[in-house]
Amino acid sequence: MRERWLSLIANQTPAGLLIGGDIAESGSSLDWLRQLAYSTSCPIYFVLGNHDFYDQSIRITRQNVVRLCREHEHLHYLTDCGSIPLRDATSHQVAAYLIGEDAWGDGTCGNFEKSFVKLADFSRILDFKTLSQEKRKDLLIELGRLSAERLTTKLESVPESTERVIILTHVPPFVEACWYEGKTADEHWSPFFVCGQMGVVLRKFAEMRPRCQVVVLCGHTHHQGVTQPLENLIVHTGQSVIGHPSIVGTLIIDNQEIAIDTYSDPI
Ligand SMILES: [Fe+2]
């Protein structure tokens, strides 16, 4: 399975690779990233998803991933990076800026208290394991706040003249981007599947920079969909099937716009 996915990527000869989290579970995420780093020569930009933190604490997982990135120069953990200029292969001009954040379903959308959803995260991620339901919500809000804070700093570093920004994140930042079988999340799922605080930051940035095209790439829900909250803000939610890694789409950046050919090729 892993080898087929790696050869599928190699055959595409991409200029770069974007991975939106839930790479694997527990420590095996590191193995996947390591193998990917050895088998491809292009830059690999990624964020982590909730599954990547299983059986460990959030802090230690991130430390281990940052350490791995120091060993492989083309592995880039975007949560730990600033905004990254992506250059046109011919002109070498900056065609877009890439920004990434893990993000969390931060409990700020939907109805956390009445939700029937019981996430495995709360028993598998050490930070949540011993917390009461109330404290779990506090932690989710704090994790979302930190993601939004880092995102704000990165967006503020993007030059005023920038016309294109790509945001890679695991969790959809808007309820309208949280797809499941063609519908968007209700009040039960939204608290755990939407990072509302990141959405506030993104909407504000897009409103302040009307000439900047903001493209958000996310996942987490396993179902695909596209939503456009503002004329210059579009969110692509990629689909996934557990145990079947795939290439969700191809991102083409030129001097005019960012285009996405969406397809899914489960292995
Ligand atoms: Fe996830």
Is residue 34 a part of any domain in this protein?
yes
Ranges of the chain whose pLDDT falls below 70: 255-256, 262-267
How high is the pLDDT of residue 197? 98
Please tell me the distance between residue 105's alpha carbon and the centre of ligand 1 in angstroms.
9
Domain count for the chain, please give it: 1
Please tell me the distance between residue 43's alpha carbon and the centre of ligand 1 in angstroms.
23
Is residue 267 a part of any domain in this protein?
no
Please tell me the distance between residue 111's alpha carbon and the centre of ligand 1 in angstroms.
19
Tell me the C-alpha to C-alpha distance, in Å, between residue 161 and each of 97, 150, 151: 11, 21, 19
Identify the domain containing residue 176 by its residue range: 2-262
How high is the pLDDT of residue 267? 47
Please tell me the distance between residue 107's alpha carbon and the centre of ligand 1 in angstroms.
15
Which residues pair with residue 18 across a beta bridge? 45
Please tell me the distance between residue 245's alpha carbon and the centre of ligand 1 in angstroms.
14
Tell me the C-alpha to C-alpha distance, in Å, between residue 139 and each of 176, 239, 265: 24, 27, 36
Please tell me the distance between residue 49's alpha carbon and the centre of ligand 1 in angstroms.
5
Is residue 134 a part of any domain in this protein?
yes
Contacts of 137 (CB under 8 A, 6+ apart): 107, 112, 191
Tell me which H or E stretch contains 94.
strand 94-101
Is residue 190 a part of any domain in this protein?
yes
**How is 229-258 classified by DSSP, letter by letter?**
EETTEEEEEPP-BTTB----EEEEE-SS-E
**Are 15 and 42 contacting, i.e. CB atoms less than 8 angstroms apart?**
yes
> What tokens appear for 47 in the block?
């964020």
Please tell me the distance between residue 218's alpha carbon and the centre of ligand 1 in angstroms.
10
Q: Could you tell me the pTM of the whole model?
A: 0.94
How many Å apart are CA 202 and CA 190, to the nearest integer? 18
How high is the pLDDT of residue 255? 64
Please tell me the distance between residue 90's alpha carbon and the centre of ligand 1 in angstroms.
36
Please tell me the distance between residue 94's alpha carbon and the centre of ligand 1 in angstroms.
31
Please tell me the distance between residue 27's alpha carbon and the centre of ligand 1 in angstroms.
16
**Are 21 and 102 contacting, i.e. CB atoms less than 8 angstroms apart?**
yes
Contacts of 18 (CB under 8 A, 6+ apart): 45, 46, 98, 168, 217, 251
Tell me the C-alpha to C-alpha distance, in Å, between residue 110 and each of 101, 116, 195, 227, 234: 22, 12, 11, 18, 21
Tell me the C-alpha to C-alpha distance, in Å, between residue 258 and each of 108, 200, 217: 30, 23, 12
Please tell me the distance between residue 220's alpha carbon and the centre of ligand 1 in angstroms.
4
| CATH assignment at residue 9 | 3.60.21
How high is the pLDDT of residue 256? 66
Please tell me the distance between residue 211's alpha carbon and the centre of ligand 1 in angstroms.
32
